[in-house]
Amino acid sequence: MQTSEATMERTSQNVEEMDALIIGGGFAGVYQLIHLREQGFTAKLYDFASQLGGIWYWNRYPGARVDTTCPLYQFSREDLWRDWKYTEMFPAWHEIRGYFKYVDEKMCLSKDTRLDTRIETANFDSERNQWIVTTDKGDTVRARYVIICTGFASKPHYPKIEGLETFKGETAHAGRWPQNDIDFTGKRVGIIGTGASGVQLTEQSSRRAKHTTLFQRTPALALPLRQRKLTEQEQEEMKSEYQAMYDIRKDTFAGFDYEFHTESWHDLTPEQRREHYKGRWGIGAFRPWLGSFRELILEDEASNEAYAYWREQVHARVKDPATAEKLAPEKPPILYGTKRMPLEQWFFDAFNQDNVDLVDLKETPIVRVTPDGIETSEGLIELDVILFGTGFDAVTGGPAAIDIHGVHGETLKDYWKDGFRTALGTTSNGFPNLFFIYGPQSPAAWTNGPSTAEYQGEWVVACIKYMREHGFHRIEASREAEEFWREEVITCAEGTLLPRTSSWWFGTNIPGKASEPLYYAGGLPRFLDLCWQSANNDYEGFTLS
């Protein structure tokens, strides 16, 4: 273990000092804590949740589960995966929380973790090249580095609907689910939103509630999850493949263990392509998207063909043709694959039940909420519970929500008000020694979370180590590096069909928010190449002093 750069100490003013302060207790934050400590740095992790787990602390609604197969939804270190077992291919929130508890115990994270504590302000002290950070507990901390790992979804989006405050039943947002849960049994449940959260909530409500109404603005282009239980023996056998799965992630566009199909869409006949769609459909999860033709997100004709296949599958499952048409209309409501596709198990079948209704908000808009339910243009739908699967104010809820003042006195939020400016999606000019992982202009939304947490995280740890080895105390992105990166992020997005779909990837899900690509669509391999090219050239694009 090497000597720490700034040993943990309390000064006469009772201010705790450390090398790195990490904000956020999901995969990215936990990775930093483990790896910085292993390099001999002093580090502490703060989270305003009461447990580690990041998004899985707040998104604990019934049916909340990950869209990634379980080998990839964990850290790739053998000392952690060797003894860990999930029970399902796509684990639910409580198992993922269990995983974080396991990692905590195995790596002794608790001693360096401050839960139930919100970071309120951070001011850079240029004299000492440290961040002075305050918490809602009244503590002040000095840290050489601040690493923001708050994820994309720390600020839930609640739509403004007239009369909502008058509703006399229960309400909840999927992203802030009450820790004591909501019991749907015997209740009339209304769900607004058809993203991954709305789809999962609808499935659970359809089996538990007396009646379920889904309020749909845009149909969910959901793909089959293909969930299955895993025995301990199966997982043990799968472990012989784990290392190969982890190794391949960095060479794939989205950090999964598979890549876009190798053949061009143009080189196959329609019949051959249909066979291909059928095969991918059988595997399920994201294979009919990120394991299919690259052209699906690049060209209208390809995207529309995949949509037509998807639509056929939905119509085959929904008995009432009018409902099927609302769920999967002839004209694609959005271009196939241009936002993260929800995964479903019995979502479409649920609409064959007498106690599940679909309200198409384009035909029948919500007028207001009343004490008894939701009033649409066709009348009142009486409800006991209203659930919001209405998404998140992505990124704004993370780094920009903390009052961070850089060296010019400007806050990070102000610095980004006319558009995100970062170098390699990792730091911003005027904010030395401040890193964000899984943040704006990183490949985050495109990728498997743990992959980005590890690969981008590895770069940050290596950078901090390099600083120590070369006697540097301050690193800051140059404006030129930010310009280069902004151009790269915009160019990559514009080369695809993505900008034509409104989604949280562009901030357009939030009324009034400027539209720009929030995430890097150039793929993980190119992202990592550019990051390591800079590192190997003594952190080109950054000023070290």
Q: Which residues bind ligand NAP (CB under 6 A)?
A: 65-67, 153, 159, 174, 192-198, 200, 215, 217-218, 340, 343, 361, 389-392, 502, 504, 509
Measured from each CB, the residue nearest to ligand NAP is 195
Residue 84, classified by CB atoms within 10 Å of its CB into exposed (0-12), middle (13-18) or buried (19+), is: middle
Shortest CB 159 distance to ligand NAP, Å: 3
Instruction: Give the residue with the Cβ less far from ligand NAP, 158 or 258.
Output: 158
CB of residue 502 to ligand NAP, shortest distance in Å? 6
Residue 62, by phi and psi: left (phi above 0), alpha (psi -120 to 50) or beta?
beta
* Shortest separation between residue 46's beta carbon and ligand NAP, angstroms: 23
Q: In sequence order, what are the beta bridge partners of 119?
A: 135
Mention every residue, 6+ apart, whose C-beta is less than 8 A from residue 36: 19, 20, 22, 43, 461, 464
Q: How deeply is 459 buried, as exposed, middle or buried, from its count of CB atoms within 10 A (0-12, 13-18, 19+)?
A: buried
18 and 6 in contact (C-beta within 8 Å)? Answer: yes
Exposed/middle/buried for 40, CB within 10 Å: 0-12, 13-18, 19+?
A: middle
Between 159 and 163, name the residue whose CB sits nearer to ligand NAP: 159
Q: How far is the CB of 216 from ligand NAP (least distance, A)?
A: 7
Geometric angle at alpha carbon 260, from 254 and 266, rounded to 5°:
145
Cβ atoms < 10 Å from Cβ of 416: 19
CB of 153 to ligand NAP, least distance (A): 6
Q: How far is the CB of 107 from ligand NAP (least distance, A)?
A: 24
Q: How far is the CB of 118 from ligand NAP (least distance, A)?
A: 22
Choice between 338 and 429, CB closer to ligand NAP? 338
Residue 319 and residue 315: Cα distance in Å, rounded? 8
Torsion of CA 166, 211, 364, 380, to 10 degrees: -40
Q: Which C-beta is closer to ligand NAP: that of 119 or that of 369?
A: 369
User: What does 441-473 look like in DSSP terms, one character per residue?
Assistant: TSSGGGS-HHHHHHHHHHHHHHHHHHHHHTT--
Between residues 67 and 104, which has the closer beta carbon with respect to ligand NAP?
67
Which of 439, 541 has the CB closer to ligand NAP? 439
The distance of closest approach from Cβ of residue 395 to ligand NAP in the complex, given in angstroms and rounded to an integer, is 12
Q: How far is the CB of 204 from ligand NAP (least distance, A)?
A: 12
The answer to whether the CB of 348 falls within 8 A of the CB of 202 is: no
Residue ranges of the alpha helices (H) in 170-299?
Answer: 196-208, 232-249, 270-283, 287-290
Nearer to ligand NAP, 374 or 463 (CB): 374
Are 174 and 391 contacting, i.e. CB atoms less than 8 angstroms apart? no
Whether the CB-CB separation of 113 and 22 falls below 8 Å is answered with no
Chain centroid offset of residue 135 CA: 25
Nearer Cβ to ligand NAP, position 314 or 404? 314
Q: Return the number of the residue (224 or 389) whose C-beta is nearest ligand NAP.
A: 389
Q: Using the minimum distance from each CB to ligand NAP, give the nearer residue, 117 or 503.
A: 503
Q: CB of residue 289 vs ligand NAP: minimum separation in angstroms?
A: 12
> Nearest distance from residue 122's CB to ligand NAP, in Å?
27
Residue 395, token pair as written in the block:
């990124």
Radius of gyration for the chain, computed over Cα atoms and rounded to the nearest angstrom: 24
β-sheet bridge partners, residue 359:
215
Q: For residues 221 and 423, which CB has a smaller minimum distance to ligand NAP in the complex?
A: 221
Cβ neighbours of residue 204 under 8 Å, at least 6 residues apart? 61, 62, 63, 184
Reduce the DSSP state of residue 7 to 3 states and report it. coil
Q: Which residues contact 19 (CB under 8 A, 6 or more apart)?
A: 4, 5, 6, 36, 41, 42, 43, 143, 144, 145, 464
Residue placing its CB nearer to ligand NAP in the complex, 406 or 507:
507
Q: How far is the CB of 215 from ligand NAP (least distance, A)?
A: 6
Name the minimum Å distance from CB 505 to ligand NAP: 8
Q: How many angstroms separate the CA atoms of 422 and 437, rounded? A: 12
Token couple for 185: 């049994």
Give 190 or 193: the residue with its C-beta nearer to ligand NAP.
193
